[in-house]
A and B are shown apart, each in its own frame.
Chain A
Amino acid sequence: MVRALSIAVWLLLIILPVGSGVLFLLLTSLDAKTGVSLAAFSELLLGYESILSSFALAVVAPFVACYLALLMAPGILRKPRLQQLLSPLLSIPHVAFAVGLMLLMSPSGWLVRLVEAISGLFPVPPASWPLPEKFLVTVIIVLTLKELPFLLLMISAQLKQLPVKSWLVQAQSYGYSERQAWWRIVTPELLRRMTLPMAAVIIYSLSVVDIPLLVGSNTPAVLAQRVYEWTFQFAANSQIKAMTGAWVLLVMALLLLLMNSKHSVLYRRLVLGKRAVTPGRLNSDKASRYAWGFLGFLSFGVITVLALQSLASSWFYPNLWPAALSPERWQTEWSYLLEPTVHSFWLALLSAITGTIAAMVLLQRQRQKAVKSFYWPVLIALLIPQVPLVLGWQRVLGQQLTEGWQLWWVFWSHAVYTLPYAYLVLHGAYTSFNEQWLIRAQSLGYSARAAWWRVMLPMLKQPVAIAFAVAFSVSIAQYLPTQWLGQGATPTLTTEAVSVASGGDWRIGSLYALLQMLLPLLVFIAVGGIRKGSYAEHS
């Protein structure tokens, strides 16, 4: 049964989509008119700034987010309720978060307006401000802050699988401080289990387009953004550049993933190789508390400023508040919201369920075959730029797309993306699940199947729920597959939000961003409600 299902998953959600996408990519790459060329390649390398900024972005943002998350994670151990604080930040769309952050902190943002209101220092927005509108560092900060909650969620899921408290107690009995025990005993194990979630974060940072487009420097922009822009310029020259750039991105991704897979080993060598030093001056407890406070403030601030924008009739510098608040915009849009909301909901629900179950099928098959390592092909869909991938699907599906089946193909395309994320989230917990539990259950007379349903599944409830929630929000965020396979028949909150936001009017953009956030928020809150102590403590 598991074997048959895993074959179906491989065929439908990995080989068919990735195969057709790669085929399309290869065909266009080898085409003399549009294909990869050495000239374009050397031109790309000569303009190395793009590649460097992409590299910096994909290394720094995930790395900083990872260690910030590790610094803050002990907070979750002490107060599991803190996890609920993450829900709004997790569910807010990336671009909306960037916009909210800029509305708060940019040179014309709320903070500057507050200073101006009190002191009159800035009658016009200051030119030199630490967070300018267009700057690589701004992109890095936005991505770090947005990835931080995801990594914290991943860590909290792993913590439930480890007997962390008894480790800490034991370590303290050997004379380690709690902090030392955290960084020297818990962290190496966490990092090992975080390899895949980190891979997701790294790939995302490398391939993200919309945030650099909004707040990134653009002379030149990061490579992903340039590839995306070239794709939509129709001179033959641009198509060649786009294809070549796509391959360079692919190679960069593989390189970064290789580096990532060495991360935990390197950490062990660097940190554990040394003798325990006296703890630094930095009080990490206090720092962690400030970081949590800051995160809480940020999610409150971003949501408030988006809500105010959506209600504002107009709001110009240096006013602290909108000229007037009116529900007019909400009233106008209200009657048009049902259809996209319904589409978003069904697509997300079904594709998240499908993606999560498919991931469990693959992982169960891996347990059966006793393969602990990682099925790399699952990730490929995330590595290929979406434009050629979805064009490949359009070619393969052909007529199917115009006969009322659009909704199903959109659902399928979402499942192609929910599967890798669900797999990444579940992999650590699922493959490290202690076989002893199943053996004990079977020695008590349960069949293998009953042991899975009654012991393993309940014990993995939290990681499975988190995988579902992440998959749900992944589906909600899909723009290109929804537009292109849906052929306009499946508008979702995201397709509306992205197209509306393209005009730069953030009053209506905020309205759609808030709606986009609502569904995943409910799911994350529900998942955060599953509060069980660590089973591992009892082993």
Chain B
Amino acid sequence: MKPAPFAYHRPGTVAEAVRLLAADPDAKVLAGGQSLVPLLSMRLATPSALVDLGGIPGLDAVRVDADGVRVGALARHARVLADDDAAACQPLLRLALGHVAHPTIRNRGTTVGSVVHADPAAEMPVVLRLLGGSVDVEGPAGRRTIGAADLFVGPLETSLHHDEVATSAFFPALPSGGGVAFEEIARRHGDYAMAGVAVVVRREGEQVVDVRAGFVSISDTPVVVDLTDAVARGADPGDAALASLEPTADVHATADYRAHLVRVLTRRVVGAALDDAASRSLTR
């Protein structure tokens, strides 16, 4: 479990990082390293070079305003999790981050890194997709913003070009009347979930005008199912969600059990999110 040889770069600016990536098609970006380093050690990834963002100043900021939370590329999960302003602005962040691995991993792993690693079993890509967030990237052609709907292409695959660096992710604020909930079921505390469900809802007065759910470990890319109509009809949200999902099997869960968990969790989490919205409007 020793990595194959690779060159190591520690640029001082994003522009320099982009230049290094552009010059070497086999180079990879290193941020927190919590996914990449094990892959290197097991020689499942053998990049020619690592471009370590760790030396670039200013990338670790978490900025919160009325629109939402902007998380810098070097902000660790633990830092985002501890940010009370971020939690107040978009409470789903804290709910989901508490399920990201273990404290020691959250101390090193970065939220943006997790997003662009695009692991279907990871929480934060689903959160970004569900909230309709975006990622800012910088490449040789300059900066651009990729909406979450256009970001996730396949398992461990995004629409970022090889020579682009994700500099931040933006998570929109919870709108007025909104509510959120998150639950996942893992074999062991802190493991990747067998199934996880994140839900955002919005009420206008007594009326529920928006119910959407995102699913962890259920599909190759983060998928969002709109359950507004189903909830309005009084249909079971679990069955409604499952109608557009095809859970698969792995060594920890059969496809049938995953489907069952989707049904049970969606039911629970939609209910919890509606309650959350109700209690938030009461405290306002």
Does B associate with A?
no
Interface residues, chain B, CB within 8 Å of chain A? none
